Amino acid sequence: MEDTIVAVSTAMGLGAISIIRLSGPEAIKIVNKIFRGKDLTKVASHTINYGHIVDGDEIVDEVLVSIMLAPKTYTTEDVVEINTHGGIAATNKVLELCLINGARLATKGEFTKRAFLAGRIDLTQAEAVQDIITSSTDKSLSLFVNQLTGSLKKLIIKLRKDIVGILANIEVNIDYPEYEDAPVVTIASLKQALIPIKEELENLVKESKNAKIIKDGINIAIIGRPNVGKSSLLNKLLEEEKAIVTDIAGTTRDLVEGSVIFKGIKLNFIDTAGIRDSDDIVESIGIKKSIDSVDKSNLTILVLNSNEQLNKDDFKLLDMIKNKTHIVFINKNDLPLKINTENLQDFNVCYGNTISDDGINSLKDKISDLFALEAIKPIDNIYLTNSRQNSLIKLAIKEIDHALDSLNKEVPVDLVEIDIKNAWNYLGELIGATYKDELIDELFSNFCLGK
């Protein structure tokens, strides 16, 4: 049976909408795992379904998903197309999620090849399609490999060399027990060799997250019900009168954005319309945007009014942010304190007001702590630039984790070897290493076997 393949079928980086296409028996199941909306395994064929792509609890993008069941599809297999509109970052993330959940990146023209093999199109048609599209997968694939920065490539080559050294040792121990020069492989020695490799890979993943923060900054939504002082807070943080402030509830109708640099990192603040039940059409649209902005941000600041008891709107908002990265800013602490703080024990809270600037600096420090801004150093350019690289590194880490886990359970070393080999292969895929003779080379050069 064929496996399930995935590729971005629109040109990367062009246009607002990208299509990620999957084909194969698991296509629907894979997308269903990362889709929040209808159960895609139950929808009718040839339907378009609205929803969100999610990574755990985090929303990645608002999407339209087309479900096309075999056999009336381009490849004659089950085909799923995800229409994203969040730009390159979201497209990459969706692709990565498909890869992590079991799809394989399609090779050059593979969708067309499948269509051809299934008798769906003849060879001339296949060639024509090939010529016209000059497969974007193909392009992005070579682009991906070219995108590797020299330093990342060097690091991966080094880690692969370390791994191949481990593999060679294991092979010698198993296949040539009489060969006395080879160091004896023990559970402890294997663990000692694998852990630093895993740490370096994990570090790489972390750095690439930081790289994104360095490049794009942190998006911070300021939400709350009307009149609590969201716009006043935005103006304080930006140190300019960007948003209109009045004592009329419902002053802010649309998103107001502004950025500042803090500790070398761009903080992108988004002031939003006060959230409440409203019959006003314009206000309602603004409120929807406020709620959406929470999903699109890395951090949410919920503003509450310190001289009022929490009401049902506040509780709703607290519920909305409780599992997200958040700060609750209790504003207007220049007025008598009336808020019921006992309900805020599980939240990351900060007090202040926008009249005397009290609490504004501690709010900024809290943001800095949450994202460890002090530790982000833009010196290292070894980072993963795209989802393919990211997913391969994560897969390699998973294999090493599995190997370490097996070692802890004292599983025989030759079984652990399979995981280590897989990790090595994933890293090979990352740098486009094609030859499989490295292990043999290593065996001969290091141990002079067969001499």
Ligand X SMILES: Nc1nc2c(ncn2[C@@H]2O[C@H](COP(=O)(O)OP(=O)(O)OP(=O)(O)O)[C@@H](O)[C@H]2O)c(=O)[nH]1
Q: How far apart are CA 37 and CA 59, in angstroms?
A: 12
Phi then psi dihedrals of residue 257, to 5 deg: -115, 150
Task: Tell me the number of residues near ligand X by CB under 6 A.
Answer: 24
> Token digits for 313?
């709107």
Q: Work out whether 219 is an interface residue with ligand X (CB under 6 A).
A: no
Residue type, 432: G
Nearest to ligand X of 247, 342 (CB atom): 247
Preceding amide of 71 cis, omega within 30: yes
**Residue 338 DSSP code:** -
Cα–Cα separations (whole angstroms), residue 272 to 225, 253, 259, 260, 287: 10, 7, 15, 17, 8
Partner that binds at residue 149, options ligand X, Mg ion, none, CB closer than 5 to 8 Å by kind = none
Residues that bind Mg ion (CB under 5 A): 230-231, 251-252
Q: How far apart are CA 201 and CA 416, in angstroms?
A: 19
User: Residue for token digits 């290493």?
Assistant: 433
- Only one of the segments 208-216, 309-317, 331-339, 410-418 lies at the binding site for ligand X (rule: CB under 6 A); that segment is 331-339
Q: Work out whether 331 is an interface residue with ligand X (CB under 6 A).
A: yes
- Give the nearest distance from C-beta 242 to ligand X in angstroms: 11
Q: Work out whether 428 is an interface residue with ligand X (CB under 6 A).
A: no
Axis crossing angle, helix 360-370 with helix 230-238, rounded to the nearest 10: 80
Q: Work out whether 300 is an interface residue with ligand X (CB under 6 A).
A: no
Q: Which of 99, 245, 287, 431 binds ligand X (CB under 6 A)?
A: 245
Q: Which of 86, 109, 226, 428 binds ligand X (CB under 6 A)?
A: 226
- Give the nearest distance from C-beta 303 to ligand X in angstroms: 6
In order, the DSSP letters of 5-73 are: EEEE-S-TTSSS-EEEEEESTTHHHHHHHTEEES-TTTSPSSEEEEEEEEETTEEEEEEEEEEE-TTSS
- Give the nearest distance from C-beta 350 to ligand X in angstroms: 13
Nearest to Mg ion of 252, 293 (CB atom): 252
Q: Work out whether 247 is an interface residue with ligand X (CB under 6 A).
A: yes
CA end-to-end distance (rounded Å), the chain = 43
Residue nearest to ligand X (CB): 274
Residue pair 264/376 in contact by the 8 Å Cβ criterion: yes
- Give the nearest distance from C-beta 335 to Mg ion in angstroms: 18
Q: Work out whether 251 is an interface residue with ligand X (CB under 6 A).
A: yes
Q: Which of 55, 280, 334, 369 binds ligand X (CB under 6 A)?
A: 334
- Give the nearest distance from C-beta 263 to ligand X in angstroms: 25
- Only one of the segments 70-78, 174-182, 199-207, 246-254 lies at the binding site for ligand X (rule: CB under 6 A); that segment is 246-254
**Residue 270 DSSP code:** E
The interface with ligand X within residues 338-397 (CB under 6 A) comprises: 353-355
Q: Which of 48, 117, 174, 249 binds ligand X (CB under 6 A)?
A: 249
The β-bridge partners of 62 are 52
Residues of the shown chain interacting with ligand X in the complex, contacts defined by CB under 6 A: 224, 226-232, 245-247, 249-252, 273-274, 331-332, 334-335, 353-355
